[in-house]
Amino acid sequence: MTTEALLGRLIEHHTENPGGDELAICEFLRHELTTRGADEVAISTVPRPKGDDIGAYIFARFGTPELLVNVHIDTVPANTGWTQDPWTPSITTDKVTGLGAADTKGAIAAILTALETRSPHNVGFLFSGDEERGTSCIRDFLSSQQARDIERAIVCEPTDRYAGVRHRGVSGYQARFQGQGGHSSNADHMPKPVATLARLAVKLDDLGQRYVSQGPDDMKGICMNVAGLDGGVAFNVVPDAATLTWSIRPPHGFDQHRFDQEIELAMHNVNPDITPTRLLHNPPFSTIRLPEFEQVLGSHIRGFIPLQFWTEAAMLSEAGINAIVLGPGNIEQAHGADEWVSREDLKWAVALFTHIFESTQA
C-alpha cells in the first residue's frame, strides 16, 4: 500500500475531538504495527476529565525504547467551508486532501511506510489521542512503565520540514464575581458583577502590555487575551453573577509564580470577593539538548526554528525527555477547510524516518 493510500485509510477514521472514535483507529494501527514486526503493541483507553468521551492511545516498541516517535491521532471537528466530505480522502497528482491529512495523519502514514523497509532498534511509537482538546492520553502514557527508559522524542506536527525547538505555553483562566441580582432601579445600591469584572479586564490587559517587551527576542510578550465577559439577561436586570475569561501564552523561562501573584493583586484591588479558577496550564517548551538531534537530522531538514503553536512536546520536556517537533505538512493547512498535505512532503517524511530508523541500528 502506498503512503498516500495509507493516509487515505487513516483519514476515513472519524477521530474528531470531541466525539470521534480513537479506539477504532488504534485497532487499525495495531494490525499495521504488528505486521511490521513490533516486539509489543498495546492499546490503552483513558477517560477524559469532562464528558463521557474516552481517549485512547497505542504504544509499540522495537527493543527497549530510548527514542520515542509520537503522533496524535485525533483531529479538530471539521471546519466550515469544506468542498468535499472531510472523511473521504482525495488523492491527486500533487496532494492528499482530508481531515487530519496535515495534522497529523500524514506523519503516521509516512512512519508506517518507513517501517516496511527499516526496522528500528530501541524505538517506541506512541500514537495518542486527546491532543486537540486536552492532554489526558500523553499524561497517562508518561505515568506508565512504558515511558521509563525514554530519553529522546520526536513529536510530529506539521512544521514545513523545519524542526521546532521551542514554543510558548498556554494557560487559561476564569474569574467569577457573585452579586445578588435584582431590578435595575436598585442598581446604585447593589453589587455590579459585570462592571466589577470589566474593571479587572482592563487591569489584565494593562498587565499584558507591561510584558510586551519582555522575554526572548523571538518570543517577547505573553499574548494576554481577554476573551470573554459573560453575565446579564436584560437591560433592566442587575445580574446576579458574571464570569471573565482570559488566557496567556508565555515563552520558555517565564516566571509563572510572579505572574500569578500579580493576578492575585489585581483581583484584590478590584474586589477581594472575586473568585479565580485556572482552566488550563500547558507549559512552554524548549529542546533540552539540541546537539543530539543535530547529529541525526543533519541536512534532512530546513533548519531549527521556534514555533508559534503549542504541542505536547512540552509535556515530554517537562518529564525530562529531550524532545523536538518535526513532521510533514504546514500548520497553515491545519484546522481549516479542505486540509491537505503535499505528496512531496509525504515522500520527504518517509525518507526522513527511514534515515532516523537506520541511525538507531548503528
Task: Clarify whether residues 11 and 126 are in a common domain.
Answer: yes
Task: Clarify whether residues 316 and 208 are in a common domain.
Answer: no
The number of distinct structural domains making up the chain is 2
- Using 50, 70 and 90 to split pLDDT, how confident is the model at 52? low
**Which triple of cell numbers denotes residue 312?**
505536547
Look up the CATH number of the domain holding residue 293: 3.40.630.10
CA distance linking residue 12 with residue 96, whole number of Å: 12
Task: Clarify whether residues 297 and 333 are in a common domain.
Answer: yes
Look up the CATH number of the domain holding residue 261: 3.30.70.360
Phi, psi dihedrals of residue 153, rounded to the nearest 5°:
-150, 140
CA distance linking residue 165 with residue 307, whole number of Å: 7
**Which triple of cell numbers denotes residue 97?**
486532501
Query: How many Å is the Cα radius of gyration of the chain?
Result: 23
Q: Which residues of 139-152 are buried (b: 16+ CB within 10 A; e: fewer)?
A: bbbbeeebbeebeb
Residue where one domain finishes, among candidates 253, 282, 311: 282
Task: Clarify whether residues 104 and 11 are in a common domain.
Answer: yes
Cβ–Cβ under 8 Å, residues 13 and 111: no
Local structure of residue 76 (DSSP, 8 states): P
Task: Clarify whether residues 154 and 67 are in a common domain.
Answer: yes
Task: Clarify whether residues 155 and 296 are in a common domain.
Answer: yes
Task: Clarify whether residues 275 and 311 are in a common domain.
Answer: no
CA distance linking residue 272 with residue 191, whole number of Å: 13
Measuring CA to CA, which residue among 327, 306, 263 is closest to residue 131? Answer: 327
CA distance linking residue 307 with residue 305, whole number of Å: 6
Q: Which residues of 215-250 are buried (b: 16+ CB within 10 A; e: fewer)?
A: beeebebbbbbbeebebeeeeeebbbbbbbbbbbbb
**Sheet order of strands, 90-91 included:** 90-91, 95-97, 340-342
Task: Clarify whether residues 41 and 147 are in a common domain.
Answer: yes
How open is the CA angle 111-93-8, to the nearest 5 degrees?
A: 45
Task: Clarify whether residues 177 and 247 are in a common domain.
Answer: yes
- Using 50, 70 and 90 to split pLDDT, how confident is the model at 295? confident
- pTM given for the model: 0.90
pLDDT for 50: 67
**Which triple of cell numbers denotes residue 317?**
520536556
pLDDT for 298: 83
Task: Clarify whether residues 85 and 216 are in a common domain.
Answer: no
CA distance linking residue 238 with residue 178, whole number of Å: 12
Phi, psi dihedrals of residue 91, rounded to the nearest 5°:
-110, 115
Q: Which domain holds residue 147?
A: 3-167+283-359
Residue where one domain finishes, among candidates 264, 282, 300: 282
Residue where one domain finishes, among candidates 266, 282, 298: 282
Task: Clarify whether residues 94 and 224 are in a common domain.
Answer: no
Per-residue pLDDT tens digits for 297-348: 988 999 999 998 999 999 999 999 999 999 999 999 999 999 999 999 999 9
- Using 50, 70 and 90 to split pLDDT, how confident is the model at 361? confident
The letter for the amino acid at 244 is L
Per-residue pLDDT tens digits for 58-72: 999 999 999 999 999
Task: Clarify whether residues 124 and 178 are in a common domain.
Answer: no
